[in-house]
Structure 1
């Protein structure tokens, strides 16, 4: 499913909760997070990505399928020598379930998009050392 104004609004109306050693960061698209900025600086990381395998194409999938895909994604990240941390995408409104996710320091936006595309995702959340999360659509990387 391509980018639509409805999907854009839904992704922006989501809290991206990241579970890091020492605390939790609640991220919103376009809003800096000082706690994450300090964590990235301490970790020596200059970029990050949030990626999920849940509900490919923005379509609800059953719990078992989502869990299996998410497990495969986590294995792929570990095999790629990344250190994923647990994260959760929590929609502001009702009607869309929480989605398990991975917060991955040092995963480039281009690599995150390539991996997300393999799992049928529309978009990923990426950011740099300034800890400002950005929504990146798959089509914006297909050039």
Structure 2
């Protein structure tokens, strides 16, 4: 079985997930392939061209318990507090309701490389990449899944 086979099953659920960002004055649900106007405004306010939504929960999309995810997310938050990047709380919400909500963070100003390294450090398959004025996209940490023909 090719290395990417297990990831093929993740692309559709990742794309169907709502990535909710808790902005100071509003909440915006990002979707892959769609622009995020309120997040764009927040990035602009902080002088940043791009941002990333990242979680430490459920590494490699293997479900962990609440306590383990809380510890991992706390480690992510601790690491990010040591960096000079503005951030906001966020939450990844599976639209099918079959996957638990995951706490995440919206971080402004990271480069693509920094975003990938951060995701890799917490064993994530992908992070959500946002560039002002463009549609949100999945930034794969591990090798990107092959198209399934659908």
Decide: shared fold, TM above 0.5: yes
CA contact (8 A) 2:46 2:86 kept: no
CA contact (8 A) 1:36 1:131 kept: no
Matches within 5 A, 1:1-143: 2=4, 4-139=7-142
CA contact (8 A) 1:34 1:131 kept: no
Runs ≥4 in structure 1, deviation > 3 angstroms? none
Q: Per-residue displacement from partner, 1:39-66 (whole Å, max 9, x unpaired)?
A: 2223221000000000001100011010
Structure 2 unaligned spans of 5+: 145-150
How big is the alpha-carbon RMSD for the aligned residues of Structure 1 and Structure 2? 1.7
- Normalization by structure 2: what TM-score? 0.87
1:107 is displaced (CA, Å) by 1.5
How many residues align? The count is: 141
Q: Any idea what SS the aligned residue of 1:26 has?
A: strand
Q: Which structure has the greater CA radius of gyration?
A: 2
Structure 1 unaligned spans of 5+: none
1:140 is displaced (CA, Å) by 5.2
The 1-side partners of 2:118 and 2:38 are apart by 27
- Normalization by structure 1: what TM-score? 0.91
